[in-house]
Structure 1
Amino acid sequence: MPHYAILVYPAANRVYADASRRLLRAELAVFGDALSTPLRELAEETLGGVGYVTFTTGEPLSEEDIALLSNLSALYALFETGDGLLKPVELSALARFDSDLLTIQKYSGKTNELFTKLLLNVTVLASDAGSALLGGRLHVLDPLCGRGTTLNQAMMYGFDATGLDVDGKDFEAYGQFIKTWLRTKRVKHTAESIAVRRNKVRLGKRLDIEFGLSKEQYKAGEVRKLTYLNCDTLTTDELLRPNSADVIVTDAPYGVQHGSHRTQDASLSRSPADLLAAAIPGWNRVLRPGGAIGISWNTHVIGRDELAGLLSGAGLEVREGGAYEDFQHRVDQAIVRDLVVAAKPR
C-alpha cells in the first residue's frame, strides 16, 4: 500500500504549533471522505527528528486527490515514503494571491490564519460543494468577521465573501488594510463605502469591493465580490438574501475580551452563548439548502452539547463523531477552542 508523510507548516505561534499535528490529522480524516481512495493508518510520527503526519492509501493518490490535499491548512510538504526515503509530491494549492494577505495583519485577538483555513476547509467539505476546493466559486459568510481573516482566506480561494461585525474600529482597520493591500499588489479592483439604512434608520456602514483574480479576468468583467457590513450580526437576515450563502464560517467571541452584539442600552454583550442562541436562526435563513455552517468557540463559555443543540434546533444536521470531535485545543489559560460543523438539509 502507498505510504505518505506530511511535513507540518512551522507555525509561529508556539501553542498552536504544539497542537498542529493533531489538528492536521483530524482535518486530513475529514478530507479522506472526498478522496478517490480510502485513508488508513493516520498517525503522528517522528522521522529524522522532525514531526510528520503519516497515512496509507488503498491506491496511489490521483492528481485530483493531491490537488485537494494541497489545501490542507498546515501542510508544508507532502512525501511518498518507502525504503527509508522521502519522495516529494508536487502540490497544487488553490492560492490565488500572495500569502501576506493572511499574515501581514498583526493584532491582539487575531484568529490564527492556519486555524481559519482549517475551519473553512472542514465546513466546505461538510457542504454539498466540497469540490469547490479544486477551483470552484462559493459565497462565504462570516457574520462575526472582526478584522477579516476569514474574508482574506475566502479571497485566497477565489471565493466571494461577506462579513459582518458591529465593531467600528475593526471595520475601519480592515477597510484600510485591504484597500492598501490591493493597491500595493496592483490587483485590479473597485472599492466603495456607503451607509446602510433600513426604514430610514441607519444600521451602520458598508464596504463593497470588486476585484479580479487576474487583470484579464477583471477586464472581461469576471470579478469576485467582497462585502463588509459594519452592522450587528443579529441583522444578518435583514441585510442578506435568504439562501444566499454557500457556507457560513465564524470564530465566535470567546467571552474574554471582545463584545459581540449590541444590547438595548447600546453596550456590547460579551455572552457568546446568548449571542449564538439569538443569531443562529437568522444565519440559518441566509444559508442555502445543502450548505454548511462551521463555528469555532471557547468551550469554557458554552458546552459542545449546548451549541450542537442550538444548531439542531434550527433544523441543521450536526456532524458528530470521528474526526469532527477531535479539533479541541488550548489557545491560552482562559480559552480552549473547539469547532462544530452542521449542514442544512436540502
Structure 2
Amino acid sequence: MPEYVILVHPSANRVYAASSPALLRAELAVFGAALSAELSGIEEVELGGVGYVRFTSSAALGESDLALLSNLSSLYALFELGDGVLRPVTVTPLAKADSDLLTIQKYAGKTNESFTKLLLNVTLLATADPTGLLSDKPKYLLDPLCGRGTTLNQAIMYGLHATGLDVDAKDFEAYEAFIKTWLRNKRVKHTAETGQLRRNKVRLGRRLDVEYALSKEDYKAGDTRKLTYFQADTLTTDEVLRANSCDVIVTDAPYGVQHGSHREAGLQRSPRDLLAAAVPVWTRVLRPGGALGISWNTTVLPREELVEVLRKAGLDVREGGPWAEFSHRVDQAILRDLVVAAKPAS
C-alpha cells in the first residue's frame, strides 16, 4: 500500500506551530472519511531531521482525493514515500484570492489563520455533502461572532458566500475599512455598500454588503459571491437571516472577556450563557444536513456542557476518534478545543 508524508507548514505563531503536527493528524483522519481511499497509520515521523506526518493509503490517491487533501490546513508539501525516497506529489489547494487576504491584518486576539481553516474544513466535512467544498455551486457560510473577519476571509479564499455578525462597532468598522481597501488595491470588480440594519422599523445596527468576483470574466458573467457583515447582536441572527439558509456555521467563541451579546439583561460576557442562548438561534438558520463548528476555551466552559447545549438544540455531535483530538494550548489561560455538530437532514 502506498505511503505518503506531509511536510507541516511553518507557522509564524510559535505556540501553534508546536501543536500543528498533532492537529494535522486529527484533521487528516477526519478528511479520510470523505476519501475514496482508506487511510491508516497516521503518525508523526522524523526523516532527515525534519518532522512529517506519515500515513498509508489503501490505494494510490486519485485526483478527487488529492483535490480534497490539498486543502489540509497545515499542509506545506506532500510526498509519496518509497525506497527511502520522497517523490513530490502535486497539490492544488483552493486559493481563490491572494494569501495576504489572510495575513495582512494584525491585532491582539486574532485567531490563527491555519486554525480557522482547520475549523472550517472539519465543519464542511461533517455536512451531508462532505466533498461540497469542490462543488461548482458555492456554499453559504455564517460566522455569528465574526470579529474582524478571519473566517469571512477564509470563506473568500474558498469561493464561498459569507455572512458575519458581531456586536462590536469597532470590529465592524475595522473590517469594513480593511476589506474595501483590499478589494480596491487588488482591483477586484465589486460593489460595496454600508447602511443601517433595520427590522420592523427597529434599528438593530449597521450592515456592509459586498458583491464581488475575483476575475473580470466572472463578474461580467454574473458569477459573483456575496459578503455581508451585520454589526448586530448575535441573538438577532434568525431575525436578519432566513431560516435554513446557511450550509455551515463556523465561529471562534469568546474566550471569556473579548466578545459578547447584549439584550435586555445587559452585556453577557460568559461564554456559557452566550452559547446557551445563541446556539438555538443559530440552529434555526442552519440548513438540514448542514453543520455547526465552534472553537472555544475549555478552561471557562467544559466540553460536556457545550455538547449538551448542542444536543438540546437538536444537533448530532461528532464525538470520539479524531474529533476528540483537537484540544491544544493557546496560552496559559486558554486551552482551545473545537466541537462540530450536524443538523439532521430532513
Fold-level similarity (TM above 0.5) = yes
Task: Compute the TM-score of the two structures, normalised by the length of structure 2.
Answer: 0.98
- Write the deviation string for residues 39-59 of structure 1: whole angstroms up to 9, x where unpaired: 010000011111100000111
What's the offset of the Cα at 1:300? 0.7
The residue number in structure 2 matching 1:42 is 42
- Write the deviation string for residues 119-139 of structure 1: whole angstroms up to 9, x where unpaired: 000000000122222244100
Q: How far apart, CA to CA, are the structure 2 residues paired with 1:215 and 1:260?
A: 39
What's the offset of the Cα at 1:290? 0.3
The residue number in structure 2 matching 1:199 is 200
Superposition misfits of 4+ residues, deviation over 2 angstroms: 263-266
Asked if structure 2 preserves the Cα contact closer than 8 Å seen for 1:71 and 1:133, the reply is: no
The residue number in structure 2 matching 1:298 is 297
- Write the deviation string for residues 233-264 of structure 1: whole angstroms up to 9, x where unpaired: 00000110000000000000000x31311143
The residue number in structure 2 matching 1:81 is 81
- Write the deviation string for residues 125-176 of structure 1: whole angstroms up to 9, x where unpaired: 0001222222441000000000000000000000000000000000000000
Map 1:261-280 → 2, pairs under 5 A? 261-264=261-264, 266=266, 268-280=267-279
What's the offset of the Cα at 1:270? 1.4
The residue number in structure 2 matching 1:235 is 236
Asked if structure 1 preserves the Cα contact closer than 8 Å seen for 2:165 and 2:232, the reply is: yes
Q: How far apart, CA to CA, are the structure 2 residues paired with 1:198 and 1:37?
A: 49
* 2:177 corresponds to 1:185: no
Q: Which amino acid aligns with 1:239?
A: V
Asked if structure 2 preserves the Cα contact closer than 8 Å seen for 1:2 and 1:80, the reply is: yes
* 2:327 corresponds to 1:331: no
The residue number in structure 1 matching 2:104 is 104
Q: How far apart, CA to CA, are the structure 1 residues paired with 2:129 and 2:197?
A: 31
Q: How far apart, CA to CA, are the structure 2 residues paired with 1:198 and 1:78?
A: 50
- Write the deviation string for residues 13-44 of structure 1: whole angstroms up to 9, x where unpaired: 00000000000000000000011110010000
- Give ranges in structure 2 of 5+ residues lacking alignment: none
The residue number in structure 2 matching 1:113 is 113
Asked if structure 1 preserves the Cα contact closer than 8 Å seen for 2:133 and 2:139, the reply is: no
- Write the deviation string for residues 83-106 of structure 1: whole angstroms up to 9, x where unpaired: 111100001111101111001100
The residue number in structure 1 matching 2:23 is 23
Q: How far apart, CA to CA, are the structure 2 residues paired with 1:28 and 1:300?
A: 26
The residue number in structure 2 matching 1:129 is 129
The secondary structure found in structure 2 opposite 1:130 is coil
What is the total number of aligned residue pairs between the two structures? 344
The secondary structure found in structure 2 opposite 1:114 is helix
Asked if structure 2 preserves the Cα contact closer than 8 Å seen for 1:158 and 1:213, the reply is: no
Q: How far apart, CA to CA, are the structure 2 residues paired with 1:301 and 1:68?
A: 34
Percent identity reads: 69
* 2:247 corresponds to 1:246: yes
The residue number in structure 1 matching 2:142 is 141
Q: How far apart, CA to CA, are the structure 2 residues paired with 1:273 and 1:333?
A: 20
Q: How far apart, CA to CA, are the structure 1 residues paired with 2:116 and 2:79?
A: 25
The secondary structure found in structure 2 opposite 1:273 is helix
The residue number in structure 2 matching 1:175 is 176
Task: Compute the TM-score of the two structures, normalised by the length of structure 1.
Answer: 0.98
The secondary structure found in structure 2 opposite 1:16 is helix
The residue number in structure 2 matching 1:55 is 55
The residue number in structure 2 matching 1:222 is 223
The residue number in structure 1 matching 2:159 is 158
What's the offset of the Cα at 1:305? 0.7
What's the offset of the Cα at 1:265? 6.0
Q: Which amino acid aligns with 2:215?
A: S
Q: How far apart, CA to CA, are the structure 2 residues paired with 1:274 and 1:292?
A: 21
